[in-house]
């Protein structure tokens, strides 16, 4: 099935959906409800839910209290505790019960409560104190992914308080360690509320781009991910006194190996999703990017086109596997020759290109030194792409069109990792959902300093999620 056909079909379905948005039998989200959602997000930011601080449980209390106030009961709310390196962390599952006689399977709505820690000294604001500046809300987690938590909890609470009854079970599934291991995700997937879900919508994997003037440019629906794999590249020798240097040096040996890793180039490969992505980028960007992408779509080995795309890593990472050094550790004393040197090399591997072991072999071949040890760290999760279903695409497309009409939703493959890979591996098709519009690259600050989101974009998301949750829950387009 081709994406071009899917997109055209979806457009026809969406046209009918959009016509009925204002007249499908429910009131729009009120300005007070939007303000309440923003207030909830501001309450969540101060919780330092990075690994090692033990604050996930306290933040969960805030979410549970809001849901209980809206009418959810203890039987609907499940904490999923996991001990991680001596720290008590939990996931959260909340079931919005559907009609008892429904034959429809549940649908899960994903977000994660944890964050990558922030270095306060590198920020212009305190990362754990929400602050509004020029229409932006600053704080760690505003973009990744506490905004999704706040939106989904607020939407579920509003619908519950209003007496809405879905046809099927709708389930919030919030991880507590998405950034560091996804152990809570795996436990959540074992729970009866989640394990038989028909599909999942991931708030951490949707959204779009707008210009500084507010014009919508492109919106994505993640349907696949690269495989995340980390390798430890290490060297060692007997060391000695620094006053007697010799040719064998663990740091120099490692440095030479890393230069080989830097020079390693993986071949251009396209699959159905990335081919569609490349065509979309070529049409949108024009110029050298467009020419190079169109050339590579017909001739993936064209070296001149590859050289052009290497200058645009934000686009080229969809076309090939990447490996990059991210951390170093070496030596033990300033007056001693190093006995050990280690580098962390993180790889993002295209689906269906040979997998983790193939990449390890390519690293070994490129380094070409049997004395350099290459070991995989942790577990890699390879997951299949989710099938592009016209019914799901139509709902998500119509949700985007509420605030950003005339934009075609683009199925994408993510170069970063999300929980979607765990759900796909478990047999639950998963799709990036959401229409949070950001000015890129200015606002692309997840995991970085001065993380922020445009408040107007956040408030518009309340309309998006109200519509999507109702439609997924069985409300018909009239």
Q: What is the pLDDT of residue 25?
A: 41
Distance CA 353, CA 358 (A): 8
The three-state secondary structure class of 81 is: strand
Domains 3-225+386-472 and 228-274+303-377 share a fold: no
- The answer for residues whose C-beta is within 8 angstroms of residue 458's C-beta and 6 or more apart is 37, 38, 41, 137, 147, 151, 436
199-202 and 107-112 strand pairing: parallel
- pLDDT value, residue 23: 36
Question: Alpha carbon of 318 to those of 277, 321, 349, 351, 462: distances in Å?
Answer: 8, 8, 10, 11, 30
List the chain domain ranges: 3-225+386-472, 228-274+303-377
CB 179 within 8 Å of CB 112: yes
Instruction: Classify residue 26 as exposed, middle or buried by CB count within 10 Å of its CB (0-12, 13-18, 19+).
Output: middle
Token representation of residue 242: 């620094």
- pTM value is 0.83
What pLDDT does residue 19 have? Answer: 39
- Give DSSP secondary structure letters for 160-225: HHTT---SS-EEEEEES-TTTT-HHHHHHHHSHHHHT-SEEEETTSEEEEE-TT--EEEEEEEEEE
pLDDT of residue 435: 95
Whether the CB-CB separation of 348 and 225 falls below 8 Å is answered with: no
The CATH class of 3-225+386-472 is: alpha beta
Indicate the class that CATH gives domain 228-274+303-377. Answer: alpha beta
| Structure confidence at residue 382 (pLDDT) | 83
Mean pLDDT in order along the chain per 10 residues (478 residues): 37 40 58 98 98 98 98 97 96 96 95 97 98 98 97 98 97 97 96 98 95 91 92 96 94 98 96 89 94 97 97 94 97 96 96 90 97 93 87 96 92 88 95 95 92 97 98 85
Place of tokens 């950001």: 438
């Amino acid at each position: 099935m081709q994406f071009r056909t899917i997109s055209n079909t979806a457009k026809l379905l969406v046209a009918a959906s959009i016509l009925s948005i204002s007249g499908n039998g429910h009131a729009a989200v009120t300005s007070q409800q939007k303000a309440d959602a923003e207030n909830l997000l501001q309450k969540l930011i101060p919780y330092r839910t990075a690994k090692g601080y033990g604050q996930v449980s306290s933040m969960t209390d805030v979410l549970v209290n809001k849901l209980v106030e809206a009418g959810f009961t203890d039987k609907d709310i499940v904490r999923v505790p996991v001990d991680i390196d001596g720290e008590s962390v939990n996931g959260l599952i909340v079931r919005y019960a559907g009609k008892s006689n429904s034959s429809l399977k549940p649908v899960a709505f994903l977000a994660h409560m944890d964050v990558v820690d922030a270095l306060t000294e590198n920020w212009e604001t305190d990362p754990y104190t929400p602050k509004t500046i020029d229409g932006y809300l600053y704080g760690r987690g505003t973009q990744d992914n506490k905004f999704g938590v706040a939106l989904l909890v607020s939407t579920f609470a509003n619908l519950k308080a209003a007496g809405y009854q879905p046809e099927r079970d709708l389930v919030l599934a919030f991880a507590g360690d998405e950034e560091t291991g996804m152990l809570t995700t795996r436990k959540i997937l074992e729970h009866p509320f989640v394990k038989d879900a028909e599909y999942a919508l991931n708030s951490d994997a949707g959204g779009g781009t707008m210009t500084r003037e507010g014009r919508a440019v492109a919106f994505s629906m993640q349907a696949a991910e690269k495989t995340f794999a980390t390798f430890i590249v290490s060297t060692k020798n007997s060391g000695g006194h620094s006053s007697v240097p010799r040719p064998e040096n663990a740091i120099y040996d490692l440095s030479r190996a890393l230069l080989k890793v830097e020079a390693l180039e993986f071949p251009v490969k396209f699959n159905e999703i990335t081919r569609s992505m490349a065509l979309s980028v070529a049409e949108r960007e024009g110029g050298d990017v467009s020419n190079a992408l169109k050339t590579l779509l017909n001739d993936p080995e064209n070296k001149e086109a590859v050289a052009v795309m290497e200058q645009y890593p934000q686009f080229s990472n969809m076309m090939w596997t990447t490996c990059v050094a991210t951390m170093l550790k070496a030596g033990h004393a300033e007056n001693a020759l190093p006995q050990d040197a280690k580098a962390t090399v993180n790889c993002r591997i295209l689906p269906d290109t040979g997998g983790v072991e193939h990449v390890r072999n390519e690293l070994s071949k490129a380094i070409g030194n049997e004395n350099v040890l290459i070991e995989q760290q942790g577990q890699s999760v390879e997951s299949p792409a989710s099938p592009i279903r016209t019914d799901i695409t139509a709902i998500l497309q119509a949700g985007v069109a509420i605030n950003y009409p005339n934009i075609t939703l683009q199925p994408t493959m993510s170069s970063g990792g999300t929980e979607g890979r765990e759900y796909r591996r478990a047999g639950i098709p998963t799709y990036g959902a959401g229409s949070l519009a950001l000015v890129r690259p200015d606002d692309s600050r997840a995991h970085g300093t001065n993380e922020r989101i445009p408040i107007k974009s956040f408030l518009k998301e309340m309309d998006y999620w109200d519509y999507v949750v109702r439609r997924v829950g069985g409300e018909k387009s009239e």
